[in-house]
Amino acid sequence: MSAEVYDFDAYIEQQDEEADGCTIAEVVRCMKVVWQNERVAPLILPHRFEYVDVLQAQIVKRDQEIEEGRKNGVEDEFRGAKKYEVARVRYMVNSYLRTRLQKIERNPAAVMARHLECHNKGKPDLLDAHEVTYAENIVRSNLNFFNESFLSLLPPGFNVPVVTKDRSEMKRCFVKVSQSVNVTIGKMTDPNLDTMVALPAGTLHYVPFYSIQDYIDDGSVTLM
């Protein structure tokens, strides 16, 4: 059996299909990077659901092809190899979605605040429409619970819920630099002073997340 059967990237590249100007294999490779960054980042990153939607549609299509192959008597070994590779991509997509939901659930109000801030500044949206609805529902449920539990018993001025800011941006991450960038890092001895640090291409670093956050989306750095 050809080794390409065991490589989902090669398999889907053979289909010669394109999505938004790029092959499905390229979408898979981009999704791998997006997934890796999201898993490692301490804060939720701008969504890349354009990749998720394409891959979910492809997974459904490949599952249908595998089922038709079973009905047409295609060898079990061949179908099993295809099914295994499709399952790998399905796991990657599901893990990406699950990681994002967990970050939303950890502090939905703070995530919504960051989403609105990005939107107002013209930056890429942090959440997609479904995630916005999900976060809003959690915030609304929490607020109702707080009001029924104790906020309604407090005097005016004390009955407003406080949104705690997520300081996870201060956490340090390992990054691989693809394109040389200059980042600003606060001095340990004086938090009011910043130092400009050059990160050459091809190097690895352990830096605060906030210093490289803006370079993740354009591929200048990759989280490890």
Residues contacting 39, CB < 8 A, separation 6+: 95, 96, 99
Does the residue 143 lie in any domain?
no
58 lies in a domain? yes
CATH number at residue 20: 1.20.58.1030
Amino acid at 42: P
- Please report how many Cα atoms fall inside a 13 Å half-sphere around the Cα of residue 25, on the Cβ side: 12
Q: CA 172, 178, 184, 189 torsion: positive or negative?
A: positive
42 token code pair: 């301490």
Answer with the one of 67, 84, 106 that is the final residue of a domain. Answer: 106
Last residue of a domain, one of 59, 75, 106: 106
Counting the structural domains of the chain, the total is: 2
91 and 17 in a common domain = yes
Q: Is residue 190 part of a domain?
A: yes
Q: Are residues 17 and 86 in the same domain?
A: yes
Examine residue 20 and state whether it is found in any structural domain, yes or no.
yes
Domain membership flag for residue 120 = no
Q: Is 98 exposed, middle or buried (0-12, 13-18, 19+ CB in 10 A)?
A: exposed
Q: Cα(30)–Cα(100) distance, rounded to whole angstroms?
A: 17
User: In the prediction, which pLDDT does 16 show?
Assistant: 44
102 shares its domain with 172: no
Domain end among 106, 136, 153: 106
Sheet holding 221-223, edge to edge: 204-208, 172-177, 221-223
In a domain, residue 29? The reply is yes
Instruction: CATH number of the domain at 203, please.
Output: 3.40.5.60
Task: Encode the chain (224 residues) as per-residue pLDDT tens digits.
Answer: 333 333 555 545 555 455 556 799 999 999 999 999 999 999 999 999 999 999 999 999 999 988 888 878 777 777 788 888 899 999 999 999 999 999 999 999 999 999 999 999 999 999 999 999 999 999 999 999 988 998 889 998 888 887 788 889 999 999 999 999 999 998 877 767 889 999 999 999 999 999 999 999 999 999 99
Q: In terms of domains, do 171 and 101 share one? A: no
Asked, for residue 3, whether it belongs to a domain, the answer is no
What is the residue range of 175's domain?
167-223
* CA distance linking residue 27 with residue 10, whole number of Å: 12
The verdict on 95 and 15 lying in the same domain is: yes
- Write the CA distances from 75 to 50, 78, 113, 149, 213, integer angstroms: 34, 5, 53, 61, 48
Domain-embedded: residue 94:
yes
pLDDT value at position 188? 75
